[in-house]
Amino acid sequence: MKLDFDLTLYLVTDSGMVPAGSTLSQIVDEAIQGGVTIVQLREKHADTSDFLAQAKLVQQVTKRHKVPLLINDRIDIALAIDADGVHIGQDDMPLHEARRLLGDDKIIGVSVQTREHAEQAVLGGADYLGIGACFDTQTKELKQGSQGPAGIRDVWEHAVEVSGPRPVRAVTIGGVNSYNAVHVLICTRTTRGNLPLDGLAVVSAIVAAESPRNAAAILRRQIAFAFESAWIARTPAARDSIRSAIGDAFEAARQNTPLVQHITNPVVINDCANACLALGGSPMMATDASEQADLAPVVSSLVINIGTLNAWQVDGMRAAMKQANLRNTPVILDPVAAGATKYRSQIVSEFLKEFGVHVIKGNAGEIAALVGSDEMHVRGVDAVGCGFKDPAGIVRALSLKERCVVVMTGPVDYISDGSSTFAVKNGHKLQGTITGSGCMTGTAVGTYVYAVAHTDPLVGAITGMVAINLAGEHAAQRPDVKGPGTFRAAFIDEMYNLTKEQLLAEMRIEQLH
């Protein structure tokens, strides 16, 4: 009978990474103690006798822990030590030959890079798939480059589709570590059925770690978190009570004073900091990469705004998002003028590939650029065009593509988590006459999303949009407001003065999906 196996945390070894004074068997032992559930011995440069000797040593450890041991590429070594199975690539022995030699009781995993590979492996009876490479890696030269979580999802969805009622099992590999583990597992969930991969395969994140045991334990914690999370709100039935949830999120910010760390542009930095304070948050505007790790433990949410990009700021953004992802702190991305220049488009797509983002907030032109629509465009930082035929469908499509909440600002704001979509109809046209009002909506979302990020990021995003737009309406009605200059000051005052009762009484929201 085939051994039962658990792919949750899959260690693939590389003896070239073993630090002086340690052995591969010690690393495997520690890693299993930390939470590794399956091991593959991968020796790309060893001759047969060394590979065999290493396999026997590692097998002593895996047997002691009752964890399956698979052999990379070499069926002969697997047969010689009676390993639990093999992992084969596209250039290795064909699956049917490996199965003939090993029999039905052994585990055979197959590396796949494309939908076609996945289909062949599933139909050929592979026990699991290793889909890669997810990200670039130092561990091996990639012939085809990395696909990112969205590319892995595409292959995984096809594998699930062709496998019938009992989906094949699968992991992804390549550049996976504790910083990106949650992002990878959430972003690769199938669109239909929300089915996650079975686990993650790593080499350097454990073998080259200072403590393989700690590295494995942190990875297990992140994987458990990802299995419990979904980017879609887990309480769709609670839509009826959305108003009270918005009221609660509003109050939570006033009570808990979330620390909203911004890396934003100098044009709006002062307005965003004041808006954050007025709404009940505590603003932090620390941009340097070198301080992000120290700050991360106290950050409630992170707002990344690419308004005035430069290489130094981008380094700070990468460092901040990496730390936020490790702590599962909500990240709000404002892709200012995405699509206006190649540089911005390239940075935004790098960010969305490499990092987990909980909310994307943009104007219609920016959202069009991210979703690949030519109905709207950006001119400078403004959206131009006749508008989308189906704006709610556009935000939902981007939400499903990126697996996060999407907010599209405009005369009506549209907000979706890929399942539920809302229109927020509050706001005043004077908001469009001052610079930074869009950036301040990012701050507002950041201020409210933290409290509900892991259960209902949609509610946090709607709360931010309702609060800022109501402040705009209240400011515009004041007799002392004569135009943009006086509106700017009154806008901050009215954020400060807004009450939960006003919010509940005056919000104009409509559910569209």
Ligand X SMILES: Cc1ncsc1CCOP(=O)(O)O
Ligand Y SMILES: Cc1ncc(COP(=O)(O)OP(=O)(O)O)c(N)n1
Determine, following the binding rule CB under 6 A, whether residue 396 of this chain makes contact with ligand Y.
no
Closest among 11, 17, 8, 54 to 209, alpha carbons compared? 17
Instruction: Please count the CA atoms within 13 angstroms of the CA of 30 that sit on its side-chain side.
Output: 19
Q: Rounded distance, CA 126 to CA 183, Å? A: 26
Q: Rounded distance, CA 275 to CA 467, Å? A: 11
Report in angstroms how near the CB of residue 352 gets to ligand X at its nearest: 20
Beta carbon nearer to ligand X, 175 or 307: 175
Closest among 249, 277, 234, 274 to 504, alpha carbons compared? 249
User: CB neighbours of 223 closer than 8 A, spacing ≥ 6?
Assistant: 8, 9, 181, 185, 199, 200
Determine, following the binding rule CB under 6 A, whether residue 171 of this chain makes contact with ligand X.
no
Q: Which does 171 bind (CB under 5 to 8 A by kind): ligand Y, ligand X, none?
A: ligand Y
User: CB neighbours of 494 closer than 8 A, spacing ≥ 6?
Assistant: 470, 471, 472, 474, 475, 478
Report in angstroms how near the CB of residue 98 gets to ligand X at its nearest: 18
Cβ atoms of 158 and 131 within 8 Å: the answer is: no
Determine, following the binding rule CB under 6 A, whether residue 31 of this chain makes contact with ligand Y.
no
Beta carbon nearer to ligand X, 170 or 203: 203
Determine, following the binding rule CB under 6 A, whether residue 204 of this chain makes contact with ligand X.
yes
Instruction: Please count the CA atoms within 13 angstroms of the CA of 46 that sit on its side-chain side.
Output: 20
Q: Which stretch binds ligand X (CB under 6 A): 20-28, 202-210, 217-225, 227-235?
A: 202-210
81-100 binders of ligand Y (CB under 6 A): 87, 89, 92
Beta carbon nearer to ligand Y, 173 or 507: 173
Determine, following the binding rule CB under 6 A, whether residue 399 of this chain makes contact with ligand Y.
no
Determine, following the binding rule CB under 6 A, whether residue 203 of this chain makes contact with ligand X.
yes
- Is the dihedral angle over the CA atoms 7, 12, 18, 24 positive or is it negative? positive
Determine, following the binding rule CB under 6 A, whether residue 222 of this chain makes contact with ligand X.
no
Alpha helices in 328-390 (DSSP H): 342-354, 364-371
Q: Which does 25 bind (CB under 5 to 8 A by kind): ligand X, ligand Y, none?
A: none
Q: Rounded distance, CA 189 to CA 182, Å? A: 11
Cβ atoms of 384 and 377 within 8 Å: the answer is: yes
- Residue from 54, 111, 163, 437 touching ligand Y (CB under 6 A): that is 111
User: CB neighbours of 184 closer than 8 A, spacing ≥ 6?
Assistant: 134, 149, 152, 172, 176, 197, 200, 226
Q: Rounded distance, CA 333 to CA 361, Å? A: 6
Q: Which residues pair with 303 in a beta bridge?
A: 262, 332
Determine, following the binding rule CB under 6 A, whether residue 305 of this chain makes contact with ligand X.
no
- Residue from 131, 202, 268, 453 touching ligand X (CB under 6 A): that is 202
Determine, following the binding rule CB under 6 A, whether residue 175 of this chain makes contact with ligand X.
yes
Report in angstroms how near the CB of residue 173 gets to ligand Y at its nearest: 4
Q: Rounded distance, CA 84 to CA 113, Å? A: 24
Q: Which does 137 bind (CB under 5 to 8 A by kind): ligand Y, ligand X, none?
A: ligand X
Beta carbon nearer to ligand Y, 87 or 106: 87
Determine, following the binding rule CB under 6 A, whether residue 11 of this chain makes contact with ligand Y.
no
Q: Which does 460 bind (CB under 5 to 8 A by kind): ligand X, ligand Y, none?
A: none
Determine, following the binding rule CB under 6 A, whether residue 15 of this chain makes contact with ligand Y.
no
Report in angstroms how near the CB of residue 33 gets to ligand Y at its nearest: 21
Closest among 159, 174, 155 to 113, alpha carbons compared? 155
Cβ atoms of 341 and 348 within 8 Å: the answer is: no
Determine, following the binding rule CB under 6 A, whether residue 42 of this chain makes contact with ligand Y.
yes
79-138 binders of ligand X (CB under 6 A): 132-133, 137
The contact mask relative to ligand X for 10-29 (x = CB under 6 A, - = no) is --x-----------------
**Separate counts of helices (H) and strands (E) for the chain:** 20, 19
- Is the dihedral angle over the CA atoms 354, 358, 363, 367 positive or is it negative? positive
Determine, following the binding rule CB under 6 A, whether residue 173 of this chain makes contact with ligand X.
yes
Report in angstroms how near the CB of residue 132 gets to ligand Y at its nearest: 5
134-163 binders of ligand X (CB under 6 A): 137, 139-140
Check if 439 is active-site: yes
Catalytic residue among 272, 276, 404, 439: 439
User: CB neighbours of 153 closer than 8 A, spacing ≥ 6?
Assistant: 187, 188, 189, 190, 191
Determine, following the binding rule CB under 6 A, whether residue 280 of this chain makes contact with ligand Y.
no
Instruction: Please count the CA atoms within 13 angstroms of the CA of 250 that sit on its side-chain side.
Output: 25
Start-to-end C-alpha separation, the chain: 48
Number of residues that bind ligand Y (CB under 6 A): 17
Beta carbon nearer to ligand X, 12 or 364: 12
Beta carbon nearer to ligand Y, 74 or 318: 74
Determine, following the binding rule CB under 6 A, whether residue 176 of this chain makes contact with ligand X.
yes
Q: Which does 205 bind (CB under 5 to 8 A by kind): ligand Y, ligand X, none?
A: ligand X
199-218 binders of ligand Y (CB under 6 A): 201
Q: Catalog residues that contact ligand X under the rule CB under 6 A.
A: 12, 132-133, 137, 139-140, 173-176, 202-205
- Residues near ligand Y (CB under 6 A): 10, 12, 40, 42, 72-73, 87, 89, 92, 109, 111, 130, 132, 140, 171, 173, 201
Point out the residues that are catalytic: 439
